[in-house]
Structure 1
Amino acid sequence: MTQAPHLQLIAELQAQIHTCVKEYIRPGQPVAYLDFPDIKNCGDSAIWLGQIAYLRDQYGMQPAYICRIKDFSRSTMLRRIGDGPIFLRGGGNFGDIWLGHQKFREMILKKHPSHQVVQFAQSIHFESREHLESAKRCIGEHKNFVLMVRDKKSLQFAQQHFDCVVKLCPDMAFCIGPVATDNPSLKVLAVLRQDKEKSSRVDDEIPPDIPCEDWMSESKMDVRRAKCAGLKSAIRDRAFSDLRSRMLNAAANHRFQRGIQHIARARAIVTDRLHVHICSLLAGKPHAVLDNNYGKVYGFMDTFSGGTALSYKAATLTEAIAWARQQA
């Protein structure tokens, strides 16, 4: 039986990820995963869970140390990993749009000059020459930094500006693999950004019969319950050194499932979010795609994921909605 095109694409991208990452992991060697996304954005949780799935599925391992930016402990990390590699979470925060992540990245490079530091696949965007020069200095001084990027524009930019190994690598969320969804109750759902990366669009173009919602709403109580369940599982298994990992991974899984349930409500999706596009591919759901404000979404699609009939690059919101209606 011929494999569905989106399933073939997922398998191909997983293979490309393994080709990029495998030389930086040795079986049994402890690794650190930094910058856990304890935030509402389901897409960041998808990236994180893909990173966890990759290490588990390829090597039967879990990270020896994980942290959020706010609770990073250098001493604990070094005690856990020794001279093992440090991995930084992938996503779209390499640059100065989300500057806190960039400052954390540069701090890690400055304080760990003898460690292999690997940046999981990122999109790059700098608006300030000063911030770019700071990144160039930190990377150039480190000498053992690997930068993975997820689109050709970022690849060209990194090769031009940074003195490090640069690799073109798909987004780690694909390591989650295909996901199943329930029968939808809506025909079309628009999932559109409301932050500083939102696409250029006119909000009143959205017809009243199409719900327009971002996927950033969550119940704090539900997230707390998920974290508590993760802690309880570690205590039950007497995995006391794994308390934080169980807690945070449970929160990431809760947020990812919330995102999947969000898009599962409709037969077709309209979006300007990269990970709504990726999750729609994982779920086998048709979706029309608008670019974000600096080209991140189309850049990724042009490089890796735009080759199936499930996704459609629309020039305008009106065009996107018309295409989605046809699929529904």
Structure 2
Amino acid sequence: MASLKNHKQLCKELMQRHEVLLELIGDAPFHYVDIPTHGNVGDLLIMHGTLAFFRKHGLSPKLIAPYDAYDPEWIDEGDVIVFHGGGNFGDLYPCFQQLREDIVMSHPHNRIIVLPQSLHFSSAAEQASSAEVFRSHPDVHICVRDEVSLQMAQAFSDHVYLLPDMAHQLYPLRAGNKRPSQHGLRISRVDDEGGMHAEMSDLDVDTVTDWPEFVGEREEHINLFRRGLGGFYRRGMGRAANRILVRLWIAYSGRLVKDAARLFARHEFIVTDRLHGHILACLLNRPNIVLDNSYGKNSRYVAAWTQRSELVTLEQAQTPPAQTRTTRIADAAQLAAII
């Protein structure tokens, strides 16, 4: 087997890159805004990675809230606003972008930090309009997850940082499975970001799923949290409810993350077009084949951060021979067994 780079060292380096955020937040009171209250495990991994980063460095948010149960009137002079990272910066998910723009316009004297995001606009006009809003604020700091987003973000702010996803703060993630099966797991998007991919029948995949199917009936519990937060907010009790219900939601969503980690750990390798299927596999030291999403987010991320890992294979548009792909997975699995 060829000489292999150290996956563990790469993961530690990715975690260390987030330390620039300590200087940006400083000693100011800060709000952590736009946390996910849905069953997308990728967003939950980002949230728990972000909270782990805060704990490691003795940072305690003044307030934690989802986008639809947060009132910008709660922002006091001197507060820093820290927006959740992910892939919703753009016009694919306008409700989240609208909250960011509203706060940028209404609080020109508060520092605003956007945690690592992938930027994507389907409309050039929407992109230009949003950039104009952000440019009006003198203290907006935008963290991005890939080089394409880095170039786009230059139009939004002079304070732009290339950083890996916050979920890397969870490394190493333990799931209790010492001996995985010899089969693979495929996480395939069923939403609008899904891409067109080959079947890869040469790989021994025994489980195919996506986050909505994985969450299953637990979506009812998730909806209870969401409705509870929204209901108290609409009744003018949002700030008090956030302190109680958000704490419970963080605990409950942590169980979802652990369940996802156990599912991954039961398999020898992962095939996925979910960015956080890839990142979760890396957190668990599992070999993984990364397929692209509909607009190139995954390949951009691998190119920026994880292509050095011997456990990561980026599936290009031209499918490699089955024997080559199977050999790569076998070599990576052998390495993973000794990490």
TM-score by length of 1: 0.85
Preserved contact between residue 32 and residue 63 of structure 1 (Cα < 8 Å): yes
Distance change (3 Å), C-alpha of 1:206 and 1:99: farther
Task: For residue 266 of structure 1, give the secondary structure of its aligned residue in structure 2.
Answer: coil
C-alpha separation between the residues in 2 aligned to 1:49 and 1:92? Answer: 16
Distance change (3 Å), C-alpha of 1:8 and 1:200: same
C-alpha separation between the residues in 1 aligned to 2:203 and 2:301? Answer: 28
C-alpha separation between the residues in 1 aligned to 2:170 and 2:33? Answer: 19
Percent of pairs with identical residues: 30
Q: 1:209-224 residue pairs with structure 2 within 5 A?
A: 210-217=206-213, 218=215, 219-220=217-218, 223=221
Task: For residue 209 of structure 2, give the secondary structure of its aligned residue in structure 1.
Answer: coil
The amino acid across from 1:72 in the alignment is Y
Structure 1 residue 175: deviation in Å? 1.1
Structure 1 residue 205: deviation in Å? 5.5
TM-score by length of 2: 0.82
The amino acid across from 1:120 in the alignment is L
- Answering whether residue 164 of structure 2 is matched by residue 170 of structure 1, we say yes
Structure 1 residue 186: deviation in Å? 5.3
Task: For residue 210 of structure 1, give the secondary structure of its aligned residue in structure 2.
Answer: strand
2:60 aligned residue (62, 68, 73): 62
Distance change (3 Å), C-alpha of 1:224 and 1:103: closer
C-alpha separation between the residues in 2 aligned to 1:260 and 1:179? Answer: 8
Task: For residue 136 of structure 2, give the secondary structure of its aligned residue in structure 1.
Answer: helix
Instruction: Indicate the residue corresponding to 1:295 in structure 2.
Output: 296
Instruction: Indicate the residue corresponding to 2:48 in structure 1.
Output: 49
- Answering whether residue 306 of structure 2 is matched by residue 311 of structure 1, we say no
- Answering whether residue 66 of structure 2 is matched by residue 83 of structure 1, we say no
Q: 1:246-325 residue pairs with structure 2 within 5 A?
A: 246-315=247-316, 319=320, 322-323=325-326
Distance change (3 Å), C-alpha of 1:100 and 1:244: same
C-alpha separation between the residues in 2 aligned to 1:207 and 1:14? Answer: 32
The amino acid across from 2:122 in the alignment is E
Instruction: Indicate the residue corresponding to 1:143 in structure 2.
Output: 138
Preserved contact between residue 291 and residue 298 of structure 1 (Cα < 8 Å): yes
Preserved contact between residue 187 and residue 325 of structure 1 (Cα < 8 Å): no
1:131 aligned residue (126, 129, 144): 126
Structure 1 residue 257: deviation in Å? 1.5
Instruction: Indicate the residue corresponding to 1:21 in structure 2.
Output: 21
Instruction: Indicate the residue corresponding to 2:231 in structure 1.
Output: none
C-alpha separation between the residues in 1 aligned to 2:91 and 2:321? Answer: 30
Preserved contact between residue 49 and residue 173 of structure 1 (Cα < 8 Å): yes
C-alpha separation between the residues in 1 aligned to 2:40 and 2:162? Answer: 24
- CA RMSD, aligned part only? 2.8
Decide which moves more: 246-255 or 288-297. Answer: 246-255
C-alpha separation between the residues in 2 aligned to 1:274 and 1:164? Answer: 27
Preserved contact between residue 205 and residue 317 of structure 1 (Cα < 8 Å): no
- Answering whether residue 194 of structure 2 is matched by residue 190 of structure 1, we say no
Moved over 4 A (4+): 202-209, 221-227, 316-322
Distance change (3 Å), C-alpha of 1:215 and 1:317: farther
Instruction: Indicate the residue corresponding to 1:12 in structure 2.
Output: 13
Preserved contact between residue 188 and residue 325 of structure 1 (Cα < 8 Å): no
Instruction: Indicate the residue corresponding to 2:116 in structure 1.
Output: 121
Structure 1 residue 129: deviation in Å? 2.0
- Answering whether residue 105 of structure 2 is matched by residue 104 of structure 1, we say no
C-alpha separation between the residues in 2 aligned to 1:205 and 1:30? Answer: 53
Task: For residue 212 of structure 1, give the secondary structure of its aligned residue in structure 2.
Answer: strand
C-alpha separation between the residues in 2 aligned to 1:63 and 1:30? Answer: 7
Preserved contact between residue 38 and residue 223 of structure 2 (Cα < 8 Å): no
- Answering whether residue 71 of structure 2 is matched by residue 73 of structure 1, we say yes
C-alpha separation between the residues in 1 aligned to 2:52 and 2:118? Answer: 21
Preserved contact between residue 288 and residue 320 of structure 1 (Cα < 8 Å): no
Decide which moves more: 189-198 or 315-324. Answer: 315-324
Task: For residue 38 of structure 2, give the secondary structure of its aligned residue in structure 1.
Answer: coil
The amino acid across from 2:273 in the alignment is D
CA deviations on 1:107-145 (whole Å, 9 max, x unpaired) are 121121111000001011111122112211210111110
Task: For residue 211 of structure 1, give the secondary structure of its aligned residue in structure 2.
Answer: strand
Structure 1 residue 209: deviation in Å? 5.6
Preserved contact between residue 205 and residue 318 of structure 1 (Cα < 8 Å): no
C-alpha separation between the residues in 2 aligned to 1:320 and 1:245? Answer: 48
Preserved contact between residue 144 and residue 164 of structure 1 (Cα < 8 Å): no
